[in-house]
Structure 1
Amino acid sequence: MKLMRAVQDEPGQKLEELAAQAEIHINTARDHLRVLEEEGLVASRPLATGTRGRPPAGFYPVCGPGMNPSADERVMASLSRGDMLRRLYPSLDRSSVIGEEAQHQIDTLVAHLEDVGLEPDLDLDRLEVTVVPCPEYDLCDENRASICDVHERLIRDQLSQVSGPLEVEQLEPFVTPDECRLTLSMRKQRLPNPAMPPRKQQR
C-alpha cells in the first residue's frame, strides 16, 4: 500500500525513489512493483536521460486504456463477464437507468473490488456501492486514512479505463462498523456557452 501510494503521489518516479519513499528495501520494492504491474495497477515506461545506455524505468498508476496489457485484458474479461451475466439474468441489466457505457464501467469496477476482496453490494438506482473494509486497514496502525485514499484513487483509475460518465463522488469509510460506502455520480456534460458565437466553417 505504501508503494502504491508513492506511485500515485508522484507518477514517473524510479525504483530507487519509490523504495526510499515507501521505506522498503529496493529489492522488495522491485518485487512488489512487478506484482502491481502484473495485476494491471502500475505501468512502467523508459525515462529519457540524454545519456547512453539502457534508460531507467519510471512507474505510473494505470489510469486509462492502453497503459498496461494486463489491465486491458482484465477490462475486456470484466465486460465479457458482465454481458454474459446480463444475458443469463436480465434483471441485472440497468443500462436503461444508467446507460450502457456506465454499465460497462460498473462491470470493470465490480471486478476490481472483488479482486481486492471488498465484496461489493450494488444499488445502481442510488449509484451506491457498499463494500467491506479492506483487509489492509487492520494491518496498519499509522496513516490509516492514506489506505482509504489509495483505494479511492484506484477506484477512480478503474472507472477511467472504460469510456463512460461515472466518477467517484465520495468514499466514506466505516458508515457502519463493518461497511464502507462508495457513492458514484454521473459526470455533467458541458453545455455550449450561449455567449460564444458559433465557429464559422472554413471554406
Structure 2
Amino acid sequence: MNNKAHAKGPAPTPTAAPALSAAQQAALEQLRGVSGPVRVVDVATALGLHANTVREHLDALVDAGLAQRTRAESSGRGRPAWLYEAVVADADATLRAYAGMAVALAGHLKATSDDPAAAARELGRTWGRDIAKKRTVQGDSRAQVIAHLTDFGFAPQSDDTATIALTRCPLLDAARQYPDVTCQIHVGLVQGSLDVVGDTNLNPVLTPFAKPGCCLLRLDEQADE
C-alpha cells in the first residue's frame, strides 16, 4: 500500500470516537492512508503483524463505526476475501458547522478589526481559560499546557525540549485560509491555559505548518525587561 504524502502542518482533528488501542489506531491510520478498500493481508504487511491479529483489529474498527467491510469479487473457488475501508468522518454535520463558523469568524476578524491578530489572541485566551479550568494535572506548567492542548484536540507530542509538535488541528480549514488570524487564536488558547495555572514566565510562540505532519509550539521564557 502507498501512504498519502504528508503536506506541511497538522492533520484535522477527528470527530469523537471510541477509545482505540495503539494497534487499532495504527490499523485505522493505514486504512485512512489509502484510496479504496484493502485486504487484511495488505494492512498486515504494512504493519508487520500477523493477518489474524490485524483482522481482529479491523473488525473492532467496523464494530466502532470507523471502518466498513465488504466482500471482494469472486475470482474462483473459495469464499471471496473481506475488504476494509475507513468510514469518511466528515459526515458529522456538527463538525462541518463548527469548522465553517471558524472560517467565517477568522474572515470577519481580518476584515473588520484594526488588529486582527491581537483580537484573535484575546478571543483564544478567553476560550482557553474556560476550557483549561475544567482539568488540572500533576506537573509543571508545561505538563498542564500539554494536557490542555490534548483537550483542545491538537494531539501534542513532545520530548524534553521546549518545543511541542501539534499533530492535529481543530480549526485546520480556517488556519489554511487565514493563518495570521486563526493561528493567533491557538496562541491565545495556550496563553489562557497558562493564565489558569498562574504562570506569567512562559511565552507561547507558534510556527504554523512548520513541517510535514505538524505545527510547532515553543514555550519560551519571558525576556527580562
- The interval holding the TM-score normalised by the smaller chain is 0.3 to 0.5
Tell me which structure has the larger Cα radius of gyration. 2
Give the structure, 1 or 2, with the largest relative contact order (CA under 8 Å, sep 6 or more).
Answer: 2
